[in-house]
Amino acid sequence: MENWDEVRTAYQVARMGTVSGAAEVLGVHHATVIRHIEAIEARLGVKLFQRHARGYTPTESGQDLLRVAQATDDQFSQLVGRLKGQGDEVSGELVVTSLSSMSHLLVPVLTEFQQMHPGLVIRYLTGERLFRLEYGEAHVALRAGNAPDQPDNVVQPFARQRIGLFASQSYVDRHGVLEGIDDLKNHQFVGTDNENSRAPFNKWLREHTNEETIIFRCSDGVAMQEAIMAGAGIGFMSTWEASRRPDLVKMMEPREEWEGSLWLVTHVDLHRTNKVQSFLSFLKERSKAWQQ
Amino acid sequence: MENWDEVRTAYQVARMGTVSGAAEVLGVHHATVIRHIEAIEARLGVKLFQRHARGYTPTESGQDLLRVAQATDDQFSQLVGRLKGQGDEVSGELVVTSLSSMSHLLVPVLTEFQQMHPGLVIRYLTGERLFRLEYGEAHVALRAGNAPDQPDNVVQPFARQRIGLFASQSYVDRHGVLEGIDDLKNHQFVGTDNENSRAPFNKWLREHTNEETIIFRCSDGVAMQEAIMAGAGIGFMSTWEASRRPDLVKMMEPREEWEGSLWLVTHVDLHRTNKVQSFLSFLKERSKAWQQ
DNA sequence: CAGGTGATGTGCATTTTTGCGCAGGCGTTG
DNA sequence: CAACGCCTGCGCAAAAATGCACATCACCTG
């Protein structure tokens, strides 16, 4: 059965009982309806209607088609209802991806957003590999660093994270506080394991201290925070994160040159949908607190 | 949801994952597929697919459509199977209509035909009014008299009924046998109540006897036979009917001018179907016995 | 019984849809 | 790193579907 439109035409003829009535319902000329019926009957080799002066009466075959097409029409109507609603309302899945180091920030926001929208399922994907928006693996991505420039993606600057240098009280008890830039070489640091890290604060650290002072190197942001908390050394942390940890001691004021950009990235096809837009505006609202 | 073909196109794209693959399955150019997708998305206001270099990935909406359209495709496939089969095999209903006076002939044939085709339901309609083939009230009609000339009907001569003049033994006991045409006025007859009856034997009777000799007039053929059997008078009866009633006495040899034509009539839309054709050939086979 | 209404069906002009060729991009492979 | 394969996307010409006007027929109505 190719050409589903002819099925739809035959369905309306069977329902109305006349070609003219079906044509009016379908919004086409009655000649078109006649030709559709002739085409589908010729293709199937079965007479669906008996023609007479008062209209078209469905044969047994036509009645069979009527039943099937009626069900199809219902199914499609329901589908359209779901699809149109889905475009406007916030439901189904919302897939967000970011580096795992941002989970502390995102998870509370995602949780609150989900509670605002019953029927919404949050899938928060973090991991080593970048989940790809262009293949539909995620709806929204939070990316750090330079502005991504994938052509099909909508990129908008999200926030600049203020970064400070912190250490735990236990570290201060053992090594004292940091007395300005010149004192850097007398301390030990928690840093990234990646020598090529593009994060501006990492580059700054590599430039202002010896390599040997970075005595604890992590591949993961979360681990870095844990290391700082455990007193392994001085390390960078967003002021927002640090403010939640009263045990930390600020070793150096935040500098602009440390600040990292965060980007919100969505696929162009999904960017206009209400679901994504609601989440983005909600996320921006909540994130104002991060920039203190 | 108007334009079911676009649903079908979107369904294949969702199934294949690429526009090109869908185009090949559908047997159309890939540009057509792209245009269909753009059209249905614009109409619904919902993105069904995310475009990327490797193909089209269905969104949640697209997956919803995929499920619905998959079910539709299955339903249509089954429908086509039924319809194509229905055209060839003898099943469903077979609606036959005739004057009630022919039920003695038709009922045994219909019964045997039904037993040859399990799954076939026979509807044998008799009655005063003519059931109309052109509205689908019946598949096959057995008509007597002049050739029907409805334009949409397929009419074929079926049989000529040999008609004889018969009376019951009880009538003969009282009035004796008929001694040729000149003796007609000395007998009494069972005839039709309709003065304008076009049946040739009725016209012949009106021409060759006085009106007053027709002392028992019926509107119905079955009643006429009953009247003859009861000895009410001499009457016309098909030789086939008379042969089943040994009590009857032949009063006059069949004459060609009495013979009535029987016509098989089918609607042109149903005439080609195997169901109708099988019945017609079976009916012709069985009816050879009637013409003895 | 004659006129009106509403249905089907057909030839022709028009509009819409489709096909074709080619450009451009991404990923893989040797 | 270059060549290849496979995909999308677009402009233009051809083809197909559609709309229109009109003819015809059956049935109803006054």
Is residue A156 within 8 Å of A264, Cβ to Cβ?
yes
pLDDT, residue B205, reads 87
Write phi, then psi, for A72 (nearest 5 degrees). -60, -45
pLDDT, residue B84, reads 83
Q: Return the SS3 of A49.
A: strand
Residues of B in Cβ contact (< 8 Å) with A5: 3-5
* Nearest residue of B to residue A95, measured between CA atoms: B60
Q: How far apart are CA A173 and CA A184, in angstroms?
A: 17
pLDDT, residue A220, reads 75
pLDDT over 70 for what percent of chain A? Answer: 97
Segment of A10-24, A100-114, B194-208 carrying the highest mean pLDDT: A10-24
Tokens of B21: 């693959």
**Does A288 contact strand D, using a CB cutoff of 7 Å?**
no
Residue B66 CA neighbour count, 13 Å, CB half? 17
* Nearest residue of B to residue A46, measured between CA atoms: B87
Instruction: Enumerate the nucleotides of strand D whose atoms come under 7 Å of any protein CB.
Output: 6-11, 17-21, 25-27
| Per-residue pLDDT reduced to its tens digit, A243-280 | 888 889 999 999 988 888 888 888 877 887 888 889 99
Q: Does B146 have pLDDT greater than 80? A: no
**Does A42 contact strand C, using a CB cutoff of 7 Å?**
no
Confidence of residue A129 (pLDDT cuts 50, 70, 90): low
Q: Mean pLDDT of all residues in chain A?
A: 86
Chain A 47-86, CB < 7 Å to strand D: 53-54
Instruction: Enumerate the nucleotides of strand C whose atoms come under 7 Å of any protein CB.
Output: 6-11, 17-21, 25-27
Residue with CA nearest to C20's C1' atom: B29
Segment of A211-215, B105-109, B123-127, B186-190 carrying the highest mean pLDDT: B186-190
User: D27 C1' – B135 CA distance, angstroms?
Assistant: 14
Q: How far apart are CA A159 and CA A287, in angstroms?
A: 8
Q: How far apart are CA A76 and CA A20, in angstroms?
A: 24
Q: How far does CA A70 lie from the centroid of its chain? A: 37
More confident residue, A200 or A9: A9
pTM reported for the whole predicted model: 0.71
Residue A208 CA neighbour count, 13 Å, CB half? 17
> Cβ–Cβ of B50/A269 closer than 8 Å?
yes
Confidence of residue A238 (pLDDT cuts 50, 70, 90): confident
Q: How far does CA A46 lie from the centroid of its chain? A: 50
pLDDT over 90 for what percent of chain A? Answer: 32
User: C6 C1' – A268 CA distance, angstroms?
Assistant: 53
Q: Mean pLDDT of all residues in chain B?
A: 86
Residues facing B140 on adjacent strands: B96, B266
Residue A92's contacts (CB-CB under 8 Å, 6 or more residues apart) are: A86, A119, A120, A121, A275, B60
Q: Does B70 have pLDDT greater than 60? A: yes
| Per-residue pLDDT reduced to its tens digit, A103-120 | 877 888 888 998 898 888
| Per-residue pLDDT reduced to its tens digit, B224-268 | 888 999 989 899 998 888 888 888 999 999 998 888 888 888 887
**Does A28 contact strand D, using a CB cutoff of 7 Å?**
yes
User: Once rounded to an integer, what is the mean pLDDT over residues A191-210?
Assistant: 81
Q: Give the pairing type, strands B235-238 and B120-126.
A: unpaired
pLDDT, residue A292, reads 55
pLDDT, residue A20, reads 92
Confidence of residue B14 (pLDDT cuts 50, 70, 90): very high
Q: Does A23 have pLDDT greater than 90? A: yes
B131-166 CB burial, b ≥16 within 10 A, e <16 = bebbebbbbbbbbbeeeeeeeebbeeebbebbbbbb
**Does B55 contact strand D, using a CB cutoff of 7 Å?**
yes
**Continuous H helices in chain B:** 4-16, 19-26, 30-44, 60-88, 103-116, 169-175, 200-208, 221-229, 239-243, 268-271, 274-287
Q: How far apart are CA B132 and CA B46, in angstroms?
A: 50
Confidence of residue B287 (pLDDT cuts 50, 70, 90): confident
Residue A272 CA neighbour count, 13 Å, CB half? 7
- Render B58-93 in DSSP notation, one character per residue: E-HHHHHHHHHHHHHHHHHHHHHHHHHHHHHS--EE
pLDDT, residue A29, reads 94
pLDDT over 70 for what percent of chain B? Answer: 98
Is residue A226 within 8 Å of A112, Cβ to Cβ?
no
Write phi, then psi, for B233 (nearest 5 degrees). 175, -175
pLDDT, residue B177, reads 93
B21–chain A nearest CA distance, Å: 17
Is residue B49 within 8 Å of B56, Cβ to Cβ?
yes
User: Once rounded to an integer, what is the mean pLDDT over residues B177-203?
Assistant: 84
User: Once rounded to an integer, what is the mean pLDDT over residues B131-146?
Assistant: 82
Q: Does A196 have pLDDT greater than 70? A: no
Burial class (CB within 10 angstroms; exposed 0-12, middle 13-18, buried 19+) of A79: buried
**Does A34 contact strand C, using a CB cutoff of 7 Å?**
yes
**Does A39 contact strand C, using a CB cutoff of 7 Å?**
no
> Cβ–Cβ of B65/A83 closer than 8 Å?
yes
Is residue A135 within 8 Å of B57, Cβ to Cβ?
yes
Is residue A261 within 8 Å of A160, Cβ to Cβ?
yes
> Cβ–Cβ of B47/A2 closer than 8 Å?
no
pLDDT, residue B291, reads 63
The nucleotide whose C1' lies nearest the CA of A54 is: C7
> Cβ–Cβ of A75/B71 closer than 8 Å?
yes
Q: Does B10 have pLDDT greater than 70? A: yes
**Does A21 contact strand C, using a CB cutoff of 7 Å?**
yes
